[in-house]
Amino acid sequence: MRALPATGELCFSAMGTRVELHRFGGGAADALAQAERAIEMVDDALTIHRPSSTTALNEALRSRQTATITDPILLDALIRIDDARAATLELFDPTIDARHTVGWEALRFDRQAATISCADPIALDFGGFGKGYALDRAVLALQEAGVGCALLSAGESSIAVIGEHPLGGTWSFAIPDPRQPEATLVELELVDEALSISATIGAGSAAPERAAMLRPGAPSPVTAPRTAIVVDRSGAMAEMLSTALIVADDAAALRLHDGARRMRFDLTPAAPTRIFV
């Protein structure tokens, strides 16, 4: 039997949920603390529930002013979202516009000058991106601290793993069916990857302050019962893709899903458990 690695764990509240960091073997003694700090820095930068770089930016955008982005985390987040536009078929859009007439495409984002502006009043909400992005930053912090095996969770709907399972091989996860939480919807194997789960039903979807899933340009939330599951090297990309899959129409969903790492499930009561679009 192989020697078991040293373990450690850290649980705390951030990004509006419970974050768990589990490390196995190797690395600096304060690696978990560094990862926690990385997540808190993302939370501080991207939150819209207390004063932050994002709320300051939103104040400027709402009044049609050009905002200079001085927070490096916020700038990095905007660049990642901008870079992911094509991959998500422009279906992930963090802009909030009460009239639903303009979106990300209306923003003038100059990544070199670190400025952003819009002719119309608009604001940004990083839900559907933030947790995955925070896990990416924490993964980086752990790796830089020498950790080669770890599991990170933000609310159990965003997961990232570093390396193989501490006992060897892949990390295996069972994803529950939101209609029937004791039943498994799908099992997935991960190594050095991130997992994101989005859904329009389930306990979390009824939570206060939970933003509705909006299709860009559409005024109404997506109400069809569905869940999307995406595995990707990047937690941020997994998060954006799972959101895009939720809001996609059938044609777009077919282009986005691959049946193995990008999936969307129809969760109408009569639907079989495993139905792709």
We find the least distance from the C-beta atom of residue 169 to other proteins, in angstroms, to be: 7
Query: For residue 112, what are its two tokens?
Result: 């070199």
Q: Where are the alpha helices (DSSP H) in 24-170?
A: 31-46, 53-62, 72-83, 130-144
We find the least distance from the C-beta atom of residue 53 to other proteins, in angstroms, to be: 25
At 155 the three-state DSSP class reads coil
We find the least distance from the C-beta atom of residue 87 to other proteins, in angstroms, to be: 22
Cα gap 154→197, rounded to integer Å: 11
At 31 the three-state DSSP class reads helix
Query: For residue 161, what are its two tokens?
Result: 């793993």
Nearer to other proteins, 83 or 189 (CB): 189
Cα gap 151→162, rounded to integer Å: 6
We find the least distance from the C-beta atom of residue 82 to other proteins, in angstroms, to be: 27
Nearer to other proteins, 94 or 178 (CB): 178
We find the least distance from the C-beta atom of residue 198 to other proteins, in angstroms, to be: 7
We find the least distance from the C-beta atom of residue 27 to other proteins, in angstroms, to be: 16
Cα gap 235→132, rounded to integer Å: 4
**Dihedral angle sign, alpha carbons of residues 87, 91, 97, 99:** positive
Nearer to other proteins, 78 or 159 (CB): 159
**Dihedral angle sign, alpha carbons of residues 91, 93, 97, 102:** negative
Query: For residue 66, what are its two tokens?
Result: 């050009």
What is the side-by-side order of every strand in the sheet holding 7-14? 7-14, 17-24, 150-154, 158-162, 194-199, 226-232, 262-266
Nearer to other proteins, 41 or 199 (CB): 199
We find the least distance from the C-beta atom of residue 275 to other proteins, in angstroms, to be: 16
Cα gap 165→198, rounded to integer Å: 24
Cα gap 265→244, rounded to integer Å: 13
**Phi–psi pair at 20, nearest 5 degrees:** -125, 130
Nearer to other proteins, 17 or 143 (CB): 17
Nearer to other proteins, 168 or 269 (CB): 168
Nearer to other proteins, 106 or 186 (CB): 186
Residues that bind other proteins in the complex, under the rule CB under 8 A: 1, 4-5, 7, 9, 13, 17-18, 20, 22, 24, 151, 153, 155-157, 159, 165-169, 171-176, 178, 181, 184-185, 187, 197-199, 201-205, 207, 227, 229
